[in-house]
Amino acid sequence: MRLDLSGKTALVTGSTQGIGFAIATGLARAGARVALNGRGEAGVTSAIDRLRGEVPDADVVAAAGDVSTDDGTARVVEAVPDADVLVNNLGIFGTQSPLDITDDEWRRYFEVNVLAAVRLTRAYLPGMTSRGWGRIQYIASDSAIVIPAEMIHYGVSKTALLGVSRGFAKAAAGTGVTVNSVIAGPTHTGGVEDFVYELVDKDLPWDEAQREFMRLHRPQSLLQRLIEPEEIANLVVYLASPLSSATTGAAVRVDGGYVDSIVP
């Protein structure tokens, strides 16, 4: 398959590192003009330099702004007035005892993990439908379905994203715009390394710590290892391409078989 996104503009939120950066890199390799997003100018500029190091001919633009706020979202939309592909990747996570999660913390998780994506969908979906083509994706998680006891606020926010995705897919029905969510499994990022070491012996070498984490805390994974960010990006790039035209309203899994279900 040739995944060609030449002539398309793609905005990826939270794309200065981790899964977001891998997605942005994959989209750039497919020929898209890619807008990198992060809260600060310095982080975005550094990420652009790194992406151009990996994809020398990449067309990359800066879209700095905290999209969990109205002002930050306005800054991003000003930098990228129109997008053909929107990947709502931004998200926060962390462990906390369920009875200790405050109302303010619940609100913060919904602002960042859910409402940021809703704001940007409202900003870009009308332009996509008027042009008759577009791709919107929400990076969800296996935690949306298998709610983790140690971070139910995170899991529930990702469950909400699945509903948001399905609802906007219905709003875009028949327009040439597809809307999907991607259920990502446990993935190897810097932030996840910190998370793993919160739950296993901090003195273990990384390879042993990863295996211990999967054995004790994610035993249902059929892959039996953490997923690499590029493996998530491969699916996202496909869903962003013209070849995915019949996939919409879906929750597509790239979870290493973590979710115990025969239905995607």
* Domain membership flag for residue 55: yes
Tens digit of pLDDT for each residue in 212-245?
A: 999 998 899 999 889 999 999 999 999 999 999 9
Q: Is 233 exposed, middle or buried (0-12, 13-18, 19+ CB in 10 A)?
A: buried
The two structure tokens encoding residue 73 = 């979202």
3-state SS assignment for residue 114: helix
The tally of domains found in the chain comes to 2
Instruction: Give the distance, in angstroms, between the CA of residue 86 and the centroid of all CA atoms in the same chain.
Output: 10
94 with 202, same domain: the answer is: no
CA 112 – CA 68 distance, rounded (Å): 5
DSSP 33: E
Predicted confidence band of residue 120 (pLDDT cuts 50, 70, 90): very high
Please report, to the nearest 10 degrees, the dihedral formed by the alpha carbons of residues 13, 18, 24, 26 taken in order.
Answer: -150
Q: What is the mean pLDDT of residues 42-64?
A: 98
The two structure tokens encoding residue 233 = 């990006």
89 with 178, same domain: the answer is: yes
The number of beta carbons lying within 10 Å of the beta carbon of residue 59 is 14
CA 188 – CA 203 distance, rounded (Å): 18
148 with 240, same domain: the answer is: yes
Task: Name the more confident of 92 and 191.
Answer: 92
Q: Is 156 exposed, middle or buried (0-12, 13-18, 19+ CB in 10 A)?
A: middle
The pLDDT of residue 68: 97
Which residues face 61 on adjacent strands? 35
Catalytic residues: 154
CA 138 – CA 179 distance, rounded (Å): 8
* Domain membership flag for residue 178: yes
3-state SS assignment for residue 185: coil
* Domain membership flag for residue 88: yes
Which residues face 62 on adjacent strands? 36
180 with 89, same domain: the answer is: yes
210 with 146, same domain: the answer is: no
When computed from its CA atoms, the radius of gyration of the chain, rounded to whole angstroms, is 18
180 with 199, same domain: the answer is: no
Structural domain that includes position 147: 9-185+228-247
Confidence (pTM): 0.95
Amino acid identity, residue 127?
G
Tens digit of pLDDT for each residue in 65-99?
A: 999 999 999 999 999 999 999 999 999 998 899 99
Residue 264 has pLDDT above 80, yes or no: no
Within a 13 Å sphere around the CA of 176, how many CA atoms are in the beta-carbon half?
Answer: 11
CA 143 – CA 158 distance, rounded (Å): 7
The two structure tokens encoding residue 213 = 């984490």
From residue 110, give the alpha-carbon distance in Å to each of 115, 152, 172. 6, 12, 23
179 with 193, same domain: the answer is: no
Tens digit of pLDDT for each residue in 126-183?
A: 999 999 999 999 999 999 999 999 899 999 999 999 999 999 999 999 999 999 999 9
* Domain membership flag for residue 48: yes
